Amino acid sequence: MAGPQTVWGIDVGKCALKAVKLRVGPDKSVEVVAADYIEHAKIMTQADADADALWTAALEKFLSRNDISNDQIAVSVPGEHTLARFSKLPPLEKKEMKKKIPDLVRYEADQQIPFDMDEVVWDYQVFDAPDSPEIEVGIFAIKRDLIRGHLHHFESGNIEPSVVQSGPLAVYNAMHYDGALTGGAVVLVDIGTENTNLLVATEDTLWTRTIKFGGNAFTDALVKSFKLSFSKAETLKRTAGSSKYARQIFQAMRPVFADLVQELQRSIGFYTATHRDVELEKIIGLGAAFKLPGLKKYVQQNLQLDIDRLEHFHKIKIPATAEGGDDQAGSFAVAYGLALQGLGLSKATSSLLPPEIVRQVVWRKKRVFFAAAAACLLFAAGVIWFRGISDLGTLQNSSGNTNVTVSPENAEATIQNPPTNVPPREYGATILAAARAFQSKNSELSSQGEDERNKIKTVMELQSDRVLWPRIVDAIHRALPAVNDEARDAASAKAFVAAVKQVPRRDRNEVIIESLESKYLPNVDDEAVKISDPWHANVDPIADPTGAGRKGFLITMRCRTPNSGGGMFVSTGFAKNLLSTCRQPKAGFYIDRIGVANAAGDRPSGSGGGTTNPPGGGWGGGTRPKATPSPANLDPLTGESIDDDMFFQVTFDLVIGDLPEKPAENQNQGQG
């Protein structure tokens, strides 16, 4: 007999992994089976931190200490990655509610979500108070590339979640089940590393907003005040409550306290303006930041609301084996709420798990039943075979035609209406022929659709590669020439433009990317970059080490530069930098071939004719005709004419995969 259902709630934050394993006990109460707290070696947001490596290390350590093979898994996504919108529906009778709400919510989602619906995973939650005729729905969405990138870490560790929930909703589920929302409206403030989740919650309603303000702001204040490194300032912040310099620490962080209160006032003010009938009762603070000396008192005085720091839960107790145990209850609120939803005990039941993954989970669970059915069929076939052997002697003595054929079209009719009044051997041959016809038809149908399945596989592989694009764009951005010294220290957009215009246009180290196009290539070696212009940046291609072909992208960028260096400035500057930033070890991509060509034909209508400039060449004799300036040929930043700018095109093959560690000697990059 199977044991009680157990569910792990796993919350991977910027500072640590928090996990709680729950089950329902014999008395129907929730029991904590296990809990774990794994702090990262560095905060993920530190400049020198490798977030992917920290994710992997935390999950590997968690799996080494906990057996999850027989447990369900519920995981969270950060509130800042999700979109939350709340909308009131027209009053509905209870009979009509279940029937009409899905269509009404679908319409609201189309209006409220600012993305194409195919680009997001979304779900909704109905909030209806028994004493109110109004029905409010919360619509929650996350972009597909974000959720796929988030779940990729769990997939790498063979962790298959059955629930994906937004962090703020998991906190709401925990506080709702734990009895913290039995009175009036409560403000829940969960201060994270970079963001703060603010929730206004009752037993039947919820409103939430993510504030771009977190614990790192306090650490940065200590870095500036005491001239410390980030890691030392973080340690000082965590020990501030017991430090003899608590007063000095408070003074250093006081401006940050004021910024936090201002953001909280703005959000709470918006809520009270749209919910005038709701009276706020108190604030509950979650997260270690509320242990900072003076913060609780400062927030309470400025918001004029009683504030309690969540120090323990009422219905469960986190064991001391987890870091901080029940004393750090606020850190485990998300994991607590996730596990409750996995047990089916949560108020909010929406989930952001992509539908295609839901189908995978369902089919995987059915494999056990398929195996049992196959075993039964095998046993039945064995019985039939044994009986056939025992009857073989009789059949050997039977007469009749055994050279029977049945077409696939007649096979079903033959099985349903087998021949009568024929000898046993002929009867058996007829049934066998019909079975073989079925088998032939089955093989034919199985072979169909292979091309479509391969295309689906290719599209799914492209989905997994989409996480590379932010890195590719960053590499291109880093390859752009640095701005002139005069503009580097500008404090505003207006000052920046003024500083740029102080430098003669022909002396500016600028490359402006006007467009970028990409084309997926199943094998980059099948479509090499072709360079026909007299000048270009040339690089020897990197041979495919496997010989099996490499997938990637053909990227075309149309650019311009005002610099008088012309082709030499582009070839030895931008193109050389691009080769450097896009040929880094373990980046997940690298440039195979690159070409730079003149693109004078891409000039906007009305601009000067220009000449094709070889590497290092000048701008011609300066006699090109001038056209009347129009918005199409003015610099959008400075308003200057771009008639004398050089337009060029950079084309390169970008291979998806890590750069080979030891390229051959003939693979060194060069300039042409």
Residue 373 belongs to some domain of the structure: no
Indicate the residue type of 584: Q
pLDDT above 80 for 631: no
Q: Are residues 517 and 418 in the same domain?
A: no
Q: Are residues 108 and 188 in the same domain?
A: no
Number of residues that this document lists for the chain: 672
Confidence class of residue 436 from pLDDT cuts 50, 70 and 90? confident
CATH code: domain of residue 107: 3.30.420.40
pLDDT value, residue 416: 75
Model confidence over 494-509: pLDDT tens digits? 888 888 888 888 888 8
Averaged pLDDT, 551-569: 89
Q: Are residues 3 and 150 in the same domain?
A: yes
The verdict on pTM exceeding 0.75 is no
Q: Are residues 341 and 266 in the same domain?
A: no
pLDDT above 50 for 534: no
Helix (H, G, I), strand (E, B) or coil at 200: strand
Model confidence over 307-355: pLDDT tens digits? 999 888 999 998 877 766 555 777 899 999 999 999 999 999 999 998 8
Helix (H, G, I), strand (E, B) or coil at 563: coil
pLDDT value, residue 43: 92
CB atoms within 10 A of CB 672: 13
Residue 386 belongs to some domain of the structure: no
pLDDT value, residue 15: 92
| Pairing state between β 307-309 and 552-561 | unpaired
Residue 211 belongs to some domain of the structure: yes
Model confidence over 25-75: pLDDT tens digits? 888 899 999 999 999 999 998 888 899 999 999 999 999 999 998 999 999
Cα atoms in the Cβ-side hemisphere of radius 13 Å centred on 615: 17
Supply the range of the domain harboring residue 591: 465-667
Averaged pLDDT, 540-564: 84
- Taking Cα atoms as reference points, which of 175, 182, 163 lies closest to residue 199? 175
- Report residue 151 as tokens: 């779940």
Q: Are residues 500 and 409 in the same domain?
A: no
**Helical packing angle, 144-156 and 51-65, nearest 10°:** 50
From 252, 285, 309, give the residue that closes a domain: 309
Model confidence over 223-253: pLDDT tens digits? 999 999 998 999 888 888 788 888 888 889 8
Cβ–Cβ under 8 Å, residues 544 and 660: no
Q: Are residues 157 and 38 in the same domain?
A: yes
C-alpha pair distances (Å), 466 with each of 147, 462, 463, 484, 653: 12, 6, 5, 34, 17
Give start and end residues of each alpha helix (H) in 140-245: 144-156, 167-177, 215-226, 230-238
Residue 540 belongs to some domain of the structure: yes
Compute the mean pLDDT over every residue in the chain, rounded to the nearest whole number: 81
Residue 324 belongs to some domain of the structure: yes
Residue 453 belongs to some domain of the structure: no
Q: Are residues 119 and 210 in the same domain?
A: no
Cβ–Cβ under 8 Å, residues 517 and 483: no
Q: Are residues 204 and 267 in the same domain?
A: yes
| Pairing state between β 307-309 and 280-286 | parallel
Q: Are residues 556 and 652 in the same domain?
A: yes
Q: Are residues 409 and 513 in the same domain?
A: no
Determine the number of helices (DSSP H) and then strands (DSSP E) in the chain.
19, 17
Phi, psi (degrees; rounded to nearest 5) at 33 = -85, -40
Helix (H, G, I), strand (E, B) or coil at 208: strand
Q: Are residues 472 and 604 in the same domain?
A: yes
Residue 456 belongs to some domain of the structure: no
Averaged pLDDT, 195-207: 92
- Report residue 272 as tokens: 């009270």
Q: Are residues 502 and 595 in the same domain?
A: yes
Phi, psi (degrees; rounded to nearest 5) at 188 = -100, 125
Per the structure, how many domains does the chain have?
4
pLDDT above 70 for 579: yes
From 275, 292, 309, give the residue that closes a domain: 309
Distance CA 606, CA 22 (A): 70
Residue 281 belongs to some domain of the structure: yes
Give the burial string for 86-103 (b: 16+ CB within 10 Å, else e): bbebeebeeeeeeeebee
